[in-house]
Structure 1
Amino acid sequence: MKTSLWQTFALELDARRPGFALGPWFTMNAMLALDGELDADRLAGAFATLQQRHGVLKAGASLELVSQSVLHVPVQLEAPVRLQLSGDHLTLHLHHLVSDPITLWLALSELAALYSGEDLPPAVQFSEYVLDEASQLDRTAEVASDWWRSRVTDAKVCPQPSPSGGSPFAYRGNLLSPLEVARVEQLTREHRSTPLVTLLAALGAAMDPVEGDTLVFNTLFSKRDRPAWQRVLGPCIVPSVLAVPRSTGSLAADVPAMRDAVVGCSRYARFPVLSLDVPPRTPFFEYVPQQWPGAYSFGSVKAEVVGAAGPKDTGLADALAIRVRPTTDGVLTGHFSGDGTDWTEPLVTSLTEEFRDYLLG
């Protein structure tokens, strides 16, 4: 079976760090709170139909009745979906090789509709997305290769001033309060930009590389960029890099160049850019906007999303990884991890302080 760019990348990553992508904790997870009781047999039937509709999920998995719901549940790739019902909570768990965050919400939306007896149109299959992705890759390979080579030839990984190294780490921390987030959002609007661009500018300034005008970060781009892909279940994401200009210390000056770079990186993301001469041990950065949907209706029962999470940390971190997202109460939080051999935890703590100074100073 042909794999997507994301799946190919994840499998190659697992070959270097066994268990990272093929392990049971490489999952996307959602928890719903129910305001009534669901009919287990009816839910089981809807779940079976959901799997039959989507080839990417076909596993013959059954609804699991459990005594307590938890957000992280192991999922094997051979059976990439699990649904658990525990009293007034319902949880869905999907292996990340066959899903992305949006897949969670699409699957839950269809599950609720099927439970409610609604007729759904024929499902668009992820295999169609994979074939279209390969076709786009073939058509744009030459121009994309030229563009990426012009961006990464002289790019520099942000240097590490502490060669002594340290211990592996993985932790979460609040970066900005709700009031500070509101201030940054106002600055973003004033510069006609996006939160990703503003945060990248701050991160580039905080890392303050010794040399090089272009910085590189590994990242992922969502590619539900055609109407057909808006409703497909599967990982419509592309592994790529952000090749962005070094920050100068002025948001007004940094944002336009940063915005143009991000637009270009996204436009040419459907290319195996990581196969080029990207500096080794490039930090990973991802801004995950809060996209929790409203309540679902399972017949007369309302289901509200009360938790969502990506892969569970299993101690297999490589270079520095930073995932930033707003919470439901308006706080900007960051998830930081690394193996400590170059970016150490004390250095990352200092990095977050510089990040804040740039945005709020």
Structure 2
Amino acid sequence: MTTVETTWPLSIWQRQCMGLERAHPGSFTDPLYTISAIVELRGPMDLAVLQRAVNELIRRHEILRTRFVEDAQVVAPRAEAEIVVLDEVDVHFPVYADSPTPLAVTVSRRDPDEHLLSFHLQHLACDPVTLWSALAELGALYHAELGGPAVPPPSAQFGEYVTFEREQQRADEVAARAWWESALGGKAFARVAADDDAPPFEYRDDLLSAEEFTTLAKFGRAHRGTVLTTLATALACAMGPHVSGGDLLFSTIFRKRDRPQWQRMLGPCFAVTLFPVPAPPGRLTSDYSRAVRDVLLRCQRYNRFDLLELHALIPDFVPALNHFIEFLPADRPTGIAFGPVTGHVVTAAGPPTDTPFGLDLRTRDTPTGVVVGHISGCGGGWRESTVRQLWRDVAAQLRDA
């Protein structure tokens, strides 16, 4: 490890966050802009050993010694995160973007052999894969401190990924620019009718039953689509009667762990980009599903710009409060080994939603097959009652497909 600071460029994801931060100060450097999990540990735990494991985790990964400035990641040669002992832990705990480490760890001791460990990573340094990989590695490092097997070195550092990402951008820039110009030029996002009396809202709830999700996945496979493309297709059809003024609907996240060394590497390997879903027909059809799938594949292939760069690239593109859709893969672990103790995830959460970006539809499936969601709207158009009805309309389309 070097004894001086190292500076890396921002990734696409980080560049977008810091760009939007300038437009909406505090949105992306908020101390609660974190991805977090609470793990229940039943069995004897040595907090001094756990502290050494936390510091070793930070030593091994540059991204955990990184603070974020306007246009760069600055990696310190050394950093530590002192475990905070609390009476009660919370899934939301502040982590500051300019802290020496984007990691915070808190512990609550319920009795001598029962602890709750709360693990928090600033979202500028983290995606869901990072959260679960870091927790699994922390457990392995704890075991190693107790005399267990040595933990293999990291497969890569995030700075290497950013370098690779920049090389991809340069190699594909001409083709990517041409496709985005054809996909967005002269077009606008459809929007919901303005309603000044519509208040902001946020809720978490079941969205689709296990049977409905099975039908959705089956429909997607039949048309060579994914869960995300099929979900977007069905939602677009449900949203059609409520929106007007354009023929583009969503933005979404693409995960970019397309090389073996990136698979479990710590760091945010994704980017949010526009997802120009064509105007929907009145109901879910195979032709429309294939059209959405084809657009998604090209979005993923040409995912080389952040949202602000796309807006600047297409001068006649008319941005609006668009609709963000995400489907998280089922990668939450069932158990995390801390030597002789197995931890179980009690809850996990992304940042509390308080952003000025329209309608956010964050979804994932569960071990029981039910699709759950974290849904929020900034007000001014969508109402919670209308959005809840959208999901009932999606379920009805799946029954009729």
TM superposition score normalised by structure 1: 0.93
Q: 1:224 aligns with which of 240, 254, 257?
A: 257
Alpha-carbon distance between aligned partners in 1 of 2:220 and 2:274, rounded to the nearest angstrom: 22
Structure-2 residue corresponding to 1:146: 178
Deviates more, 1:66-75 or 1:16-25: 66-75
Does structure 2 retain, via aligned residues, the 8 Å contact 1:222–1:236? yes
Give a deviation string over 1:96-149, Cα, whole Å, max 9, x none: 011111101111121111111132333321111111111111111111000111
Structure-2 residue corresponding to 1:263: 297
**Unpaired runs of 5+ in structure 1?**
none
Cα distance between partner residues in 2 of 1:334 and 1:158: 23
**In the alignment, is residue 132 of structure 1 matched against residue 159 of structure 2?**
no
How far apart are residue 165 of structure 1 and its match?
4.8
Work out whether residues 251 and 272 of structure 2, in 8 Å CA contact, stay in contact via their aligned partners in 1: yes
Q: 1:121 aligns with which of 145, 149, 152?
A: 152
Counterpart of 1:283 in structure 2 is 323
What is the SS of the residue equivalent to 2:342? strand
Equivalent residue letter for 1:264: R
**Equivalent residue number for residue 29 of structure 1:** 36
Sort the Cα spacing of 1:130 and 1:151 in 2 relative to 1 into closer, same or farther, 3 A: same
Taking the aligned partners of 1:52 and 1:160, their CA distance within structure 2 comes to 48
Partner of 1:108: 135
1:64–1:85 CA contact under 8 A, matched in 2: yes
Q: Which residue of 2 aligns with 1:206?
A: 238
Distance change (3 Å), C-alpha of 1:69 and 1:172: same
Q: Matches of 1:274 and 1:112 in 2, distance apart?
A: 43
1:339-361 superposed Cα distances (whole Å, 9 cap, x missing partner): 21233334323433333332223
Partner residue, 1:80 = 102
Q: Pick from 87, 102, 113 the counterpart of residue 67 of structure 1.
A: 87
Gap runs ≥5 in structure 2: 1-6, 66-78, 110-114
Deviations 1:294-315 (A, max 9, x none): 31221111112222111123x3
Displacement of 1:154 in angstroms is 4.2
**CA distance, structure 1, for counterparts of residue 223 and residue 52 of structure 2:** 50
Moved more, 94-103 or 155-164: 155-164
SS at match of 1:116: helix
Question: What is the CA RMSD across the aligned residues, in angstroms?
Answer: 2.0
Shift of residue 163 of structure 1? 4.4
The structural deviation recorded for 1:210 is 4.3
Q: How many residues align?
A: 359
Q: Where does residue 241 of structure 1 map in the other structure?
A: 274
Q: After TM superposition, list the pairs within 5 Å mapping 1:182-197 onto structure 2.
A: 182-197=214-229
Q: Is 1:204–1:215's contact at 8 Å kept on the other side of the alignment?
A: no
CA contact (8 A) 2:192 2:244 kept: no
Cα offset for 1:293? 1.6
8 A contact 1:217–1:285 mirrored in 2: yes
SS of the counterpart of 1:266?
helix
How many angstroms does 1:159 deviate by?
2.8
Deviates more, 1:245-254 or 1:300-309: 245-254
Question: Quick check: 1:354 aligned with 2:390?
Answer: no
Letter in 2 for 1:260: D
Alignment equivalent of 1:10, drawn from 17, 31, 34: 17
Q: Partner of 1:234: helix, strand, or coil?
A: coil
User: What TM-score, normalized by structure 2, do the two folds share?
Assistant: 0.84
Matched residue type, 1:141: E
Could you tell me how far apart the structure 1 residues matched to 2:17 and 2:87 are?
33
The 8 Å contact of residues 71 and 309 in structure 1, kept in 2 or not, is answered as yes
SS in 2 for 1:245: coil
Measure the CA separation in 1 of the matches of 2:176 and 2:294.
16
